[in-house]
Amino acid sequence: MIEVKNVSRHFGKNGLDNTSIHVKKGELLGVSGASGCGKTTLLNIISGMLRPESGSVIINGQDIGRLTENKRTALRAGTIGYMMQGSVLLPEFTVIQNIMLTAGIAGKKCSIAQAKELCKELKIYNIINSYPVNISGGEYRRVMLARILSADTPILIADEPTSNLDEESADIVRKKIYDVHKKGVCIITATHDKKLLELADSILEL
């Protein structure tokens, strides 16, 4: 499903060097390594958010390096759900609006009821009408996960989904990722979380 061949991209001394991976449909791949080793760079390249200096990324038989930027963007709408590491919720929209918005962009019919159900599962139902600036770090990560899951994409890329979460919140996130994995979604996650890595079918150490 995802094939990364000899991909490199550098930012000063840090970055990714000549990396290759192969992820099959329904597989959960954990990516670990020290800070600055290129985990986020790899995920950015796979999701088409960054162009590699060399190498190629093939998703469902399509070399995304050959796609125009618009087509790569469209790929993220319908095929790849990318949960980034930082704060990327739209501050002008409430939690539920942020979730619905992503589903809408992906062209998925996610009803308010479905979005609320997702929020209940991730234990963020009580904050659905809050703005991102008013929620905690743990809640923020779960909203980001809910936002991506609402798009119902066959590939999920999650960058440090459990970082800075308390154990209870981390458990909720791990469980949800595992549930999605069991439904056949192909997942690549960069993480330092050993419990999450234990759920992975394979681990790439950078």
Partner 1 sequence: MKTYEYAFNVIAYSRFRSCIVFILVFVTTVCIFGTGLFTDNIQNGARLYGTTDTDLYIVPEEYLDSTKDLLFKGKACTIMFRSDVTEKIKEIPEIEKVSPQLYLETLEMSCCSAGGIQIVAYDPKSDFSVSQWTDVSIDISPDEILVGSAGNFSKGETIDLFGRTFKVAGILEETGMGYDSSIFMTYDSANEITSSDEYAYMFGKKKNAVSMLLLRQKTGADMNTIIKKVTDSLEDSRLKVYAIDELASGLRSNIRMTTTMVKTMDIFVLMIAGVSLFAMVTVTSEQRRKTAGSLLSVGYGKNKILRLFFAEYLILFTAGTLLGIGISSVFLFPLHNVFKTLLDMPYKLITVGQGTELLLKTLAVNFTMLVTAVSFTFITVMKKEPAMLTGENV
Residues in contact with partner 1 by the rule CB under 8 A: 11, 14-15, 36, 38, 40-41, 44, 47-51, 69-70, 73-78, 81-82, 84-93, 97, 101-102, 104-106, 131, 147-148, 151, 159
CB-nearer residue toward partner 1: 13 or 194:
13
Helix (H) or strand (E) segment spanning residue 56: strand 54-59
Helices 112-121 & 137-149, crossing angle to 10 degrees?
Answer: 130
CB-nearer residue toward partner 1: 8 or 97:
97
Q: What is the dihedral of CA 8, 147, 171, 159, to 10 degrees?
A: 10
Q: How many CB atoms lie within 10 A of CB 194?
A: 9
Cβ of residue 75: shortest distance to partner 1, in angstroms? 7
CB-nearer residue toward partner 1: 72 or 181:
72
CB-nearer residue toward partner 1: 87 or 202:
87
Taken as a whole, the chain contains a residue count of: 206
CB-nearer residue toward partner 1: 74 or 197:
74
Cβ of residue 142: shortest distance to partner 1, in angstroms? 16
Cβ of residue 129: shortest distance to partner 1, in angstroms? 14
Q: Is residue 125 packed enough to be buried (19+ CB in 10 Å), middle (13-18) or exposed (0-12)?
A: middle
Cβ of residue 198: shortest distance to partner 1, in angstroms? 25
Cβ atoms of 155 and 2 closer than 8 Å: yes
Cβ of residue 165: shortest distance to partner 1, in angstroms? 18
CA 23 to chain centre: 15
- Distance, in Å, from the CA atom of 152 to the CA atom of 183, rounded to the nearest integer, reads 11
